[in-house]
Amino acid sequence: GAGVSQTPSNKVTEKGKYVELRCDPISGHTALYWYRQSLGQGPEFLIYFQGTGAADDSGLPNDRFFAVRPEGSVSTLKIQRTERGDSAVYLCASSRPTSGLYNEQFFGPGTRLTVL
């Protein structure tokens, strides 16, 4: 069975540019999450989708960050006017519906973003 996939695996961009990171969740998982992980740190929550809508976007650091999930499956994290401080590994996770137990989050391999 396929796990969570993320593309690209690596992205190098210049300060000020726009980037899009893609996440393809496990089939049948209605919940999707984005986290950001800096070197030597644990993942930090960014945003959570239940279906097509963002149920919790309180972790997005500022309005340069935006995420969509138009059909309730694939999600795209969009970063405008990138800054060097945005450099990190961006992780996507998915889970079954979160209303009950057994809602473990399964992570993809991440996209390593480097802003020069």
44, 59 Cβ separation under 8 angstroms: yes
Structure tokens at 113: 């973003």
Choice between 42 and 70, CB closer to other proteins: 42
Q: Residue 17 CB, nearest distance to other proteins (Å)?
A: 24
Choose the stretch contacting other proteins; rule: CB under 8 A; options: 14-22, 62-70, 76-84, 107-115.
Answer: 107-115
Q: Which of 19, 21, 31, 113 binds other proteins (CB under 8 A)?
A: 31
Cα–Cα distance measured from residue 100 to residue 82, given in angstroms and rounded to the nearest whole number = 37
Q: Which stretch binds other proteins (CB under 8 A): 14-22, 53-61, 68-76, 80-88?
A: 53-61
Region binding other proteins by CB under 8 A among candidate stretches 14-22, 60-68, 69-77, 104-112: 104-112
What is the token pair recorded at 15?
């300060």
Decide: residue 85, CB within 10 A, 0-12 exposed, 13-18 middle, 19+ buried.
exposed
Strands 111-115 and 10-13: parallel
d(CA 77, CA 75): 7
Residues near other proteins, by CB under 8 A: 4, 31, 33, 35, 40-45, 48, 50, 55-56, 59, 91, 93, 95, 98, 101-110
